[in-house]
């Protein structure tokens, strides 16, 4: 009988542990200056790469375990990181306070066009930048942007992908753990919706643990144009880096 109970315990114990690990935390996000709840605050679990946002009352619920880090971001407020503790899981909902940023507008220089009234002449004054894309047979990709139609454009694309000592090799090789989060980010609808409405790159920098300069350099080395980097939203940047990383992994396996 004792042996039977021991066997049953060993079979059931793993499921009990799994059930205990499937925990979540709740809370309410407030503004420090107004002491009122904040709606649509973006919240991401950096460890599990899960996202959510606050409702009209500033309330949220997030899947999390002890020592997970939650990243809170909201337009006009300073982003914060909050670590999940045993007390939070034990005592339930907690109050999260966010501090408003002092926004300073930079000077914007607007270049006026000297319009003549003649359509053909006025259209000629509008700058047009052409960016060409190249695809490589055998790779599932929509193509690579290579800037203008210069003779070296294709060799630039090939060099960026196949050169094992380039920036991408160093970045992807050293940050494999962070880059593997890209797939989880693409699978989480909440995170994708958040990124589609953002242009600040902050959430991507936090999740991938790179600064703004390196993030832009990754996209540039993946042969996307400067126009794309400057105008794309964060979701487009995510998809660009993710596609580039998947192709890097394919080529790395072929080389090895």
Q: How do the pLDDT tens digits run along the chain, 256 residues long?
A: 555 555 455 555 554 444 445 599 999 999 999 999 999 999 999 999 999 999 999 999 999 999 999 999 999 999 999 999 999 999 999 999 999 987 444 444 555 556 666 666 656 665 555 555 555 444 444 554 545 555 545 455 555 555 543 678 888 888 888 888 988 998 999 999 999 999 999 999 999 999 999 999 899 888 899 899 999 999 999 999 999 998 888 887 777 6
- What is the Rg, in whole angstroms, of the alpha carbon atoms belonging to the chain? 24
Tell whether 160 and 237 lie within a shared domain. Answer: yes
Final residue in a domain of this structure, among 47, 74, 98: 98
Verify that 168 and 80 share a domain, yes or no: no
Say yes or no: 176 and 233 in one domain: yes
Residue at 43 is within a domain:
yes
Distance between CA atoms of residues 146 and 149, nearest Å:
8
Q: Are residues 151 and 89 in the same domain?
A: no
Examine the domain organization and report whether 146 and 30 are in the same domain.
no
Q: Are both 94 and 141 inside the same structural domain?
A: no
Pairing of strands 24-31, 94-98: parallel
Q: Which domain holds residue 88?
A: 16-98
Asked whether residue 56 is assigned to any structural domain, the reply reads yes
């Amino acid at each position: 009988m004792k042996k039977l109970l021991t066997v049953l315990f060993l079979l059931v114990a793993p499921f009990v542990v799994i059930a205990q690990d499937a925990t979540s935390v709740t809370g309410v996000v407030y503004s420090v200056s107004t002491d009122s709840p904040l709606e649509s605050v973006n919240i991401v679990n950096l460890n599990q790469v899960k996202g959510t946002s606050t409702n009209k009352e500033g309330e949220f619920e997030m899947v999390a375990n002890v020592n997970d880090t939650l990243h809170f971001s909201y337009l006009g407020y300073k982003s914060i990181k909050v670590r999940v503790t045993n007390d939070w899981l034990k005592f339930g909902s907690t109050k999260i306070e966010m501090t408003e940023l002092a926004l300073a507008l930079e000077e914007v220089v607007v270049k006026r066009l000297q319009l003549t009234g003649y359509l053909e002449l006025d259209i000629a004054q509008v700058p047009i930048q052409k960016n060409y894309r190249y695809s490589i047979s055998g790779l599932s990709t929509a193509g690579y942007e290579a800037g203008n139609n210069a003779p070296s454009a294709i060799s630039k694309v090939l060099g960026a992908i196949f050169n094992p000592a380039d920036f991408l090799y160093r970045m992807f090789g050293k940050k494999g753990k962070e880059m593997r989060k890209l797939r989880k980010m693409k699978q989480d609808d909440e995170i994708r919706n958040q990124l589609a409405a953002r242009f600040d790159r902050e959430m991507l920098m936090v999740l991938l643990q790179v600064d703004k300069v390196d993030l832009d350099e990754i996209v540039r080395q993946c042969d996307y144009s400067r126009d794309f980097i400057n105008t794309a939203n964060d979701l487009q940047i995510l998809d660009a880096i993710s596609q580039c990383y998947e192709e890097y992994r394919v080529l790395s396996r072929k080389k090895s």
